Amino acid sequence: MTIDEIEPFSALIGDIYDASLDPALWPAVFEQVCRYVRGSAAHLFVQDAVSKSANVFFAWGDNRDFTKSYEDKYAKLNPMFPGAIFFDVEQVHQLVEILPRHEICRTRFALEWMQPQQYIDDLFCILEKSATSSSLFQIIRHRRDGVVDDGARRRMELVAPHIRRAVLIGKVIDLKKVEAAALADSLDTLTSGMFLVDAGGRIVHANRSGHLMVSDGNVVRALHGKLGAPEPTADRALLDSFAAAGSGDAALGRKGIAVPLHARDGTRYVANVLPLTSGARRTAGVSYAAVATVFVNKAALDMLSPPEAIAKEFQLTQAEIRVLFAVIELANVPEVAAMLGLSQETVKTHLRRLFAKTGTRRQAELVKLVAGYSNALLA
């Protein structure tokens, strides 16, 4: 990053973290991210791992009618899924890594949803995923932007960890607007532990849940008034995050995005650190003599989604997984071929391989197989 890029980048990161306290800011932040990465539209959405149903939370630069049609119809046809859910969180990827560009262009999704909007490329990262769904942030490039180059990918990789951290913090506070000037009062009712700390980790304020956590000592502790963790590695990671937060949003880098905490009873928690030294949050930092707010809550269970579990169990390829879930959705081979942009013979070849690998003989048995994996998550 050149000297000329540092100041606007730092301002962008500050605005991203301000959006964690005021979700109404996300569209304007996405506009800035698009200008930085050089894209024409941005979406933050959640997609179900099996049904492929989707919910777009925030967007900028999109055509609202097309976004609505995505939620109502085209989410099920998006060739990004289920392949995207195999990627790790925060990693930046493109649709062309899942499917070659010439195959994408033949899909119904490209013909009916992408081409009318002149969308030709994208960059995306998974912000969070569970056994049933994944949340993603995506930048889309219009024909006038050209295809993604190394510079765009590098800039997206710089922004992605901060987008993820801000979204996770927003999720903890339930995406409600929080006034920076009254941060402590606003967060005192959270069930998650909340601590305001200075650069050395000294606790200057804690909510009721935070006080209970410290007094119990199972997850975090307050040795000599400083917030820490019983486990040495986590303790050091927290202290490093507090020190970095004192230098502003950009200085925090990738540190502290989700510091894993292992409680003495074996339960896993995570600590997210929100700097208070930049943006609108600076008011709260000055008011409370704090450099960061730390949110401590239970970590989500690591469970494979049905597509991941099935692919691992039966050693299926990405192409076979796509055909499997398309068959479940449509059942009819000609319709599956049209949706995926494949020939009917290619679909039949993949089906034969699916039957052989899974020990099934009919499409109905494949549907039952997937349903079994999905129902196991709800048991």
Whether cis (ω within 30° of 0) applies to the bond prior to 82 is yes
Q: How confident is the model at residue 147 (pLDDT cuts 50, 70, 90)?
A: very high
Q: Which class for 201: exposed (0-12), middle (13-18), buried (19 or more C-beta within 10 A)?
A: buried
Q: Are residues 227 and 145 in the same domain?
A: no
Q: Are residues 210 and 291 in the same domain?
A: yes
Q: Are residues 166 and 192 in the same domain?
A: no
Which among 99-103, 116-120, 133-137 has the top mean pLDDT? 116-120
The two tokens of residue 368 are: 């039952």
* Count of the separate structural domains present in the chain: 3
- What pLDDT is recorded for position 378? 46
Q: Residue 169 pLDDT > 60, yes or no? A: yes
The identity of residue 107, as a single letter, is T
Query: Rounded to two decimals, what is the model's pTM?
Result: 0.82
Within 8 A by CB and 6+ apart from 138, the residues are 42, 43, 44, 45, 122, 123, 124
Show which of 172, 198, 221 is a domain's final residue.
172
Looking up residue 233, the CATH number of its domain turns out to be: 3.30.450
Show which of 172, 198, 223 is a domain's final residue.
172
34-49: average pLDDT: 94
Largest distance between two CA atoms of the chain: 70
Nearest to 292 by CA among 356, 341, 239: 239
Rounded percentage of the chain residues whose pLDDT exceeds 70? 93
Q: Are residues 348 and 238 in the same domain?
A: no
Looking up residue 369, the CATH number of its domain turns out to be: 1.10.10.10
Q: Are residues 359 and 270 in the same domain?
A: no
Q: Are residues 115 and 203 in the same domain?
A: no
308-327: average pLDDT: 89
Q: Are residues 210 and 185 in the same domain?
A: yes
Q: Are residues 20 and 151 in the same domain?
A: yes
Q: Are residues 158 and 188 in the same domain?
A: no
Q: Are residues 253 and 328 in the same domain?
A: no
96-113: average pLDDT: 94
Q: Are residues 48 and 143 in the same domain?
A: yes
The two tokens of residue 128 are: 């969070």
- What pLDDT is recorded for position 255? 55
Show which of 228, 263, 298 is a domain's final residue.
298
Looking up residue 79, the CATH number of its domain turns out to be: 3.30.450.80
Q: Are residues 7 and 136 in the same domain?
A: yes
Q: Residue 313 pLDDT > 70, yes or no? A: yes
The whole domain housing 133 covers 3-172
